[in-house]
Amino acid sequence: METGGARRPGAALGFALSSALMTGALLSACGESGSTATTEPRTVTTADSAHPASASAAATPPADLCTRIVAHWSREALAENTYGDYQSMGLSNGQYAILRNVVDAARAVKKRQGAGAADRLIDRRAREDCEERYRAGGPSDGPWQ
């Protein structure tokens, strides 16, 4: 029995994926081919070979990343714009504990002193608590801490 030319499920996705991978491979192969338009040759130093150039910037320190993500989600929680659980927010269990403490404190300050004071408290507490958490380099109580 013939299928009447019906495609197999996933065939289009497979083709698109293989095309994207091939394009990426070709582009990266063309990155530094030696046939550049510049007339000055590139001199490779010991530092270059020990630390190859990278397209990405230096990694963000864990305490800074924690501060940014906790402050963001604290503001969302204070405005009641959150959804899901800590994993859907991209937080670890420990970062979520910091967020809960920050939001509790911010709610109290917002009632007494207003939204501006709560916003400043979020920035300060998120920074302080995240710096404390990552002071020794990172959590050590298990993989999800």
Give CA separation, 9 vs 15, 21, 58, 117, in Å.
11, 20, 42, 56
C-alpha closest to that of 71 among 144, 137, 120: 120
- Mean pLDDT, residues 116-135 taken together: 95
What confidence tier does 17 reach under pLDDT thresholds 50, 70, 90? very low
Check: CB of residue 139 under 8 Å from CB of residue 145.
yes
pLDDT tens profile 47-64: 444 555 555 678 889 999
pLDDT in tens, 76-109: 999 988 777 888 888 998 999 999 999 999 999 9
Judge residue 67's burial from the number of C-beta atoms within 10 Å of its C-beta, 0-12 exposed, 13-18 middle, 19 or more buried.
buried
CB atoms closer than 10 angstroms to residue 28: 9
Q: Which two tokens stand for residue 100?
A: 């809960």
Greatest pairwise CA separation for the chain in angstroms? 76
